[in-house]
Copies of this chain bind each other. A is one copy, B any other.
Amino acid sequence: MKKIAIAAGLASLAGIAAAQSKVEVFGVIDTNITRLTGTGTSSKLGLATGGANISRLGFRGTEDLGGNLKAGFWLEAGLDSDTGAGKAAGSTGLGFNRRSTVSLLGDLGELRLGRDDSASFLSTLIFDPFLTNGVGGTGAFSILGVPAAGTSTGGAPIQISNALSYLLPASLGGFYGQAQLAFGEHTKAEPNKNQGDYRGLRLGYRQGAFNGALAMGRFYGDSPDNNVSASNLGLSYDLGVVKPMLIWAREKRGALKVTVLQLGATAPLGPGELRASLGHYNTAGSDADWNKVALGYGYNFSKRTQVYGTLAYLKNKSGANRAIGVQGLSATGAAMGGKSSGMELGIRHFF
């Protein structure tokens, strides 16, 4: 009798659990105290978000369709955990600005439709010790600035809407990669028949301690002069005591060309990880260059919870006025040829 009762209980629980297991609710809350210092009186102290990992809330799941075929979906909304605001385009409401995709996955790879990270962005995250985040994060992608929707007067887009992606399967002996085609959804009129389109390609190889990837992408602006090209190379080698990594990245729009070379490293230290990076940003044919150095440590209370701290320093040459910026604390400016520094201390919690 008791066994039957237990079995019945199990069955009922299984029903509930099965119903729930269609969707995994997941996310990150990462909030910190940041101090940004520029020139003169413009320093700022406040709460910021996403110092170690971007704060987010998501919903995802996969379904086994049989015959090694799967369907999957992924909805992921960025948020400013210091204020609770969402990051939908042009709104303080929540939107799935980070990812909104449906996929078919099989032996031949994955077909993915919707909004996603652009193929040419990913390496600059993976090979940066700071994952592009916080005061230490690299500026190796979208160096020219993030473009407004439907325009390309900025840099290359980090996420891209209306994308059709093909991703290689995991079974290629270490090779990985993706091809991406995003529709600008403009009518095919001059001056730029491809306005708003994006085309990207990424190819990598990971074997043992080695990881390396090449990527390139092109975002089509409102005129051919406003097309943005991005290309980058990422390399890392895990020596155990330290994992050196490198990013070379270039972005071009018309006559403007900026090239980045960043050396980085992570190293296990106690129940945590040391992080360091040194980047040189060069603007072709001009004095608009700058250098950035960052040093940080993340202490893991558990796999899910980390306390971290980072220091970063940026120095402009005479033709540049770049400043260290973070999400959730509006950037303080730097003077032409000036310097900028940042420090942060925060908590990152996965759920």
Binding site for B on A (CB under 8 A): 2-3, 6-7, 9-10, 13-14, 16-17, 19-27, 29-33, 41-47, 57, 59, 61, 63, 65-66, 69, 71-73, 75, 77, 79-86, 88-102, 104, 113-115, 161-164, 183-189, 301-302, 304-305, 307, 328-330, 332, 346-347, 349, 351
Contact = CB atoms under 8 A, between A and B. Distances in A.
Closest 10 CB pairs of A and B: A93-B93, A84-B96, A84-B100, A46-B185, A46-B183, A83-B161, A47-B162, A71-B305, A31-B113, A29-B102
A188 B35 CA distance: 13
A41 B187 contact: yes
B57 A59 contact: yes
A100 B102 CA distance: 25
A152 B345 CA distance: 29
Contact of A91 (B32, B61, B93): B93
Contacts of A185: 44-47, 329-330
A88 to B, nearest CB: 4
Contact of A94 (B2, B88, B101, B113): B88
A45 B307 CA distance: 47
Which of A10, A73, A163 lies at the interface centre, i.e. has the most chain B CB atoms within 10 A of its CB? A73
A347 B100 contact: no
B82 A44 contact: no
A84 B92 contact: no
Contacts of A26: 22-23
A21 B164 CA distance: 34
A29 B63 CA distance: 13
Contact of A81 (B21, B69, B100): B100
Contacts of A302: 63, 65-66, 71
Contacts of A188: 41, 43
Contacts of A183: 45-47
Nearest to A42: B187
Contacts of A332: 187
A274 to B, nearest CB: 21
13 contacts: A2-B3, A31-B113, A41-B187, A41-B189, A47-B163, A61-B351, A72-B349, A73-B351, A77-B94, A80-B100, A83-B114, A83-B115, A84-B99
Contacts of A16: 17, 20-21
B94 A95 contact: yes
B104 A347 contact: yes
B301 A71 contact: yes
A311 to B, nearest CB: 20
Contact of A93 (B17, B92, B99, B113): B92
Contacts of A114: 29, 31, 47, 81-84
B92 A301 contact: no
A95 B87 CA distance: 9
Contact of A13 (B10, B63, B81, B86): B10
Contacts of A97: 84
Given A21-B16, A31-B102, A301-B69, A85 B79 contact: no
B347 A102 contact: yes
A328 B183 CA distance: 12
